[in-house]
Amino acid sequence: MKLNVLCIGDIVGRPGRRVLADKLKSFVRERSVDCVIANAENAAGGSGLTPQIYDKLLRYGVNLISLGDHAFRKRDIIETLERNDNICRPANFSEHAAGRGTALYRTAKGPVVGVLTLIGRLFMKPADCPYAAADKWIPRLQKEADLIVVDFHAEASSEKIAMGYHLDGRASCCFGTHTHVVTADEQVLPKGTAYISDIGMTGAHDSVLGRKSDCVLKSFRTQMPVPFEIATGDVRVNGILVTIDSNSRQAERIERIRIDADGQDDARYDSDDGRPEYYNTF
């Protein structure tokens, strides 16, 4: 059986949420998508996730949610992480961290999609070894899921590429997140794992990683604390669409996806109460 899995890059603030609300369900219908996975660690004001936004993303059509280094930025998400099996934080966080490192979704066709989230260690905060975590969790996930998709939330391309080869033949897909910049190296690796170093960002691309460029430039040039206002121009979805054979668990095809917002009226993407969204650091 062939399954189409859509993986959506880091959702940044209200612009990212709004374009999903407007565009996701129609894309799912048009491209016969069986499962939607989204990294949502920047969905709330550019950093973190709240229970209210978690609920909204599910209503928009997202089936599985992954998080990264900002997983606990909004503390009220912790209960959601503990209670639900369709959302996960990096599995190589401390074993005492709240939530789980895997998530599961049963598709309408029957096969179960499992997501494993890992976080990198190069240029990132301390974490356990992601390769050892993959070796630990993939055999467990294989008992629960027909397909395994890995979100590797990491900074360095070399670390991501190495993870792709480490997982080749054991996961159906390994995609990178965190840099917010989509790469052009999508491929199916020799043993059948679809791979891309980074699937990019869902949000405003007339920006520096989703934040207004003048704010970020001021911070870089002055080395002073500057609030980073969420940008609102050139809003679009970045992601990949992967076709996977559920019997062999191998990927057959990977395609980069770009979905542009309609109209590009900046005011449409301001925060819900009309005030700008701010976030103080990347």
Per-residue pLDDT of the chain (282 residues; tens, 9 = 90+): 999 999 999 999 999 999 999 999 999 999 999 999 999 999 998 899 999 999 999 999 999 999 999 999 999 999 999 999 999 999 999 999 999 999 999 999 999 999 999 999 999 999 999 999 999 999 999 999 999 999 999 999 999 999 999 999 999 999 999 999 999 999 999 999 999 999 999 999 999 999 999 999 999 999 998 899 999 999 999 999 999 999 999 999 999 999 999 876 555 555 544 455 655 555
Q: Would you say 69 is a known binding-site residue? A: yes
Q: Would you say 205 is a known binding-site residue? A: no
Domains along the sequence of the chain with CATH = 2-204+237-262 (3.60.21.10)
Residues with Cβ within 8 Å of 232's Cβ and at least 6 positions away in sequence, in order, are 15, 204, 266, 267, 268, 269, 270
Query: How far apart are the two ends of the chain, measured CA to CA in Å?
Result: 41
What is the DSSP code (8-state) at residue 70? T
> What H or E segment, with its residue span, contains residue 52?
helix 51-60
Phi and psi at 86, nearest 5°, equal: -110, 15
Residue in this structure with the two tokens 């990096």, named with its chain if needed: 90
- pLDDT score at 273: 43
Q: Let me know if 82 is exposed, middle or buried by CB neighbors in 10 A (0-12, 13-18, 19+).
A: exposed
- pLDDT score at 280: 54
169: left (phi over 0), alpha (psi -120 to 50) or beta: left
Q: Would you say 41 is a known binding-site residue? A: yes
- pLDDT score at 263: 73
166 is an active site residue: no
Measure the CA–CA gap between 43 and 202, rounded to whole angstroms.
9
Cross-strand pairs, 244: 3, 251
Q: Which of 70, 96, 166, 205 is catalytic?
A: 70
Q: Would you say 166 is a known binding-site residue? A: no
- pLDDT score at 264: 60
Length of the chain: 282
- pLDDT score at 111: 98
CA triplet 139, 245, 40: central angle to 5 degrees? Answer: 65
